[in-house]
A and B are shown apart, each in its own frame.
Chain A
Amino acid sequence: MLHADDLLAWIGELHRVYVQNKTYLTELDAAIGDADHGINMDRGFSAAAAGLMENTPTDIAGILKAVAMVLIRTVGGASGPLYGTFFLRAAGACAGKDTLAAADVAALFRAGLEGVVQRGRAAPGDKTMVDAMQPAIAAMQQAVDSGADIEEMLPAAAAAAESGMRHTVGLLARKGRASYLGERSIGHQDPGATSFGLLIQAAVDTWVNRRKA
């Protein structure tokens, strides 16, 4: 079971992860985009963490919504509305819940994915963040269906996201600035898929690994 405190710890971890990976994500973006993804994610989650420290909602949905609004306001680019919409829809899926079980976490991520697809109009295989999200959320559903708990479900989802993220290397971009490159986009890992891979790995580190430790 996850509580509001766990969500806060996850956002704090995301802040740390995107500061740490700012240069890496920006370099991936420089290869096929406009060289700002790491800078934008760092700015967004630094602001989100600072915002939560200043004014901390007590419920899970409130925390997710606060993060969404900060990301929409501060990130810009494509990742601002996409991650903003992800957290906004995730908040909607958690409305009124004080705790989250595995099925609730899967529902949270599924709602986020649906929002991203609607906003960005990307399909699996377009070489976008959806290529990491979609397999991760499928893995979550599979885990939930087989009765797994959060500790089993999340590592499986993170592994699926990582594999989806690595798969983007061979894909031809059909959305976003990378699509302007056509064939030249092949051979590069998608920055958005990578930042989502980091997002779910951070959930594993916060909600699974750190509890075991």
Chain B
Amino acid sequence: MAAHKYCTVPVNPITQEAQAQQKEGGRKMKKLINDAQDVVKESLAGFAAAHADLVRVHFDPDYVVRADAPVSGKVAVISGGGSGHEPLHAGFVGAGMLDAACPGQVFTSPTPDQMEAATKAVDGGAGVLHIVKNYTGDVMNFEMAAELCQAEGIDVASVVINDDVAVQDSLYTAGRRGVGTTVLAEKICGAAAEKGMDLKTIADLCRRVNANGRSMGMALTSCTVPAAGKPTFDIGDDEMEIGIGIHGEPGRERKPLASAREIIAGMARAVISDLPFKNGDTVIAMLNGMGGTPLIELYLAYNELAAICKAQGITIARRLVGNYITSLEMAGCSVTLLRADEQMLALWDAPVLTAGMRWGI
């Protein structure tokens, strides 16, 4: 076979093109990186160096497992998805939460070989739960991975999270996106696994969390995928995108910028009316930052959310305020409410020791 027939290309086309694009567009990508194509691997290497007490990082295929994996006799909980949403998912690997995370390229689903290897690395003999966010690529890749693992006799259950009320759920779309509720599901199911519950019980619990969780997000600015080298979308200084996903994909509508009070009221209305959450409900709330909005604004936004819930007779029993499921450097936030029963609250309070979330230990 004549291998020389293949054309030759520059060794580093991504970087060269990204640089060319920056020049053409007159906009310079301003990021703390070395080379656009090494971002995920170098960040993972740093994560491994920073959290060696909590996790081990495997390269080629790339996955992160808790330091003491596999835990014999315990159901393992795995999630994964494109990178750029940190601390999700690797930041939630550790005792009481995820056993493994599979990071893909930025905003790109990981591949089945990563998920298969991670599943084998953490399988303690009691089965493995895959928590999958509802994106076409994630669902297909996890589906292929589950088939590969099942073929080798590993008991795998999959639950797809689809909580984003910005997307109309119908036969005519890919369905609702998986966003904020994923964080809550990973915490609650991780605690359930730690307590020794079996795979079917944890999968059912995960479905119950998904069925009772709703989210909506908004963006003030776009974000720049390092390999693309320029902002994913254009947005005016006086505009905002309501119903944004976590990949800079456009949302439900573009509107003139409004006050935090109006923005949070609009998102809370969409979330509350969808389930619907009712007077007397107890919830776990998350006011999540998209990565580029400071905590001073997130707490200000939480203040609005807390007032709305109080006025509607919805009790926020637990809450998270901060950057938990982000979209690179996008400015903006999302609101997640989960109608929680006593079991979910008890599992929420259970000890957790991860890079991105830790309490009770």
Bound Cα distance A42, B228 (Å): 12
A-B contact count (CB 8 A): 143
Does A201 make an interface contact (CB < 8 A)? no
CB neighbours of A67 from chain B (8 A):
none
Are B1 and A8 in contact (CB-based, < 8 A)? Answer: yes
Are B249 and A176 in contact (CB-based, < 8 A)? Answer: no
Are A73 and B174 in contact (CB-based, < 8 A)? Answer: no
CB neighbours of A58 from chain B (8 A):
1
Instruction: Indicate which residue in A9, A120, A184 contacts B140 across the interface (CB closer than 8 Å).
Output: A120
Are B13 and A42 in contact (CB-based, < 8 A)? Answer: yes
Min Cβ gap A84→B in Å is 8
CB within 8 Å of A: which B150-184 residues: 166-168, 171-174, 177
Does B32 make an interface contact (CB < 8 A)? no
Secondary structure at the B interface, as helix, strand, loop or mixed, is: loop
Are B140 and A53 in contact (CB-based, < 8 A)? Answer: no
CB neighbours of A40 from chain B (8 A):
105, 108
Min Cβ gap B165→A in Å is 12
On chain B, the number of residues with a Cβ less than 8 Å from chain A's Cβ atoms is 49
Does A135 make an interface contact (CB < 8 A)? no
Min Cβ gap B139→A in Å is 9
User: Assuming A15-B7, A23-B21, A76-B104, is B140 touching A81 (CB within 8 A)?
Assistant: yes
Does B326 make an interface contact (CB < 8 A)? no
User: Assuming A4-B1, A36-B228, A180-B174, is B17 touching A22 (CB within 8 A)?
Assistant: yes
Which A residues are within 8 Å of any B CB, using their own CB?
Answer: 4-5, 8-9, 12-13, 15-16, 19, 22-23, 26, 30, 33-36, 39-40, 42-43, 46, 49, 52-53, 56, 58, 72-82, 119-120, 172, 174-177, 179-182, 184
Residue contacts A-B, CB under 8 angstroms, 10 given: A23-B17, A23-B21, A30-B232, A76-B109, A78-B135, A81-B144, A176-B136, A177-B247, A180-B174, A180-B177
